[in-house]
A and B are shown apart, each in its own frame.
Chain A
Amino acid sequence: QVHLVESGGGVVQPGRSLRLSCAASGFTFSRNAMHWVRQAPGQGLEWVAVIRHDGTNEQYADSVKGRFTIFRDNSKNTLYLQMSSLKDEDTAVYYCAKDLSGSYTVDYWGQGILVTVSS
Chain B
Amino acid sequence: QSALTQPPSASGSPGQSVTISCTGTSSDVGGYNYVSWYQQHPGKAPKLMIFDVSKRPSGVPDRFSGSRSGNTASLTVSGLLAEDEAYYYCSSYAGTNWVFGGGTKLTVL
Chain A contact-residue range equals 20 to 34
Task: Kindly state the separation between the CA atoms of A46 and B98 in the bound complex, as whole angstroms.
Answer: 9
Find A44's partner among B36, B48, B52, B101 (CB 8 Å cutoff): B101
Indicate if A45 sits at the interface (CB-CB under 8 A). yes
Interface string of A34-63 (1 = CB under 8 A from B): 010100000011110010000000011111
Q: Do A107 and B93 form a contact, CB below 8 Å, given A44-B3, A44-B103, A95-B45?
A: no
Q: List 6 A-B contacts (CB under 8 A).
A: A35-B98, A44-B3, A44-B103, A45-B89, A105-B91, A106-B48
Q: A50-B97, A59-B96, A106-B98 are in contact. List 16 more A-B contacts (CB 8 A).
A: A44-B101, A45-B46, A45-B89, A50-B98, A60-B97, A61-B97, A63-B1, A95-B45, A103-B51, A103-B52, A105-B48, A105-B93, A106-B36, A107-B51, A107-B57, A108-B48
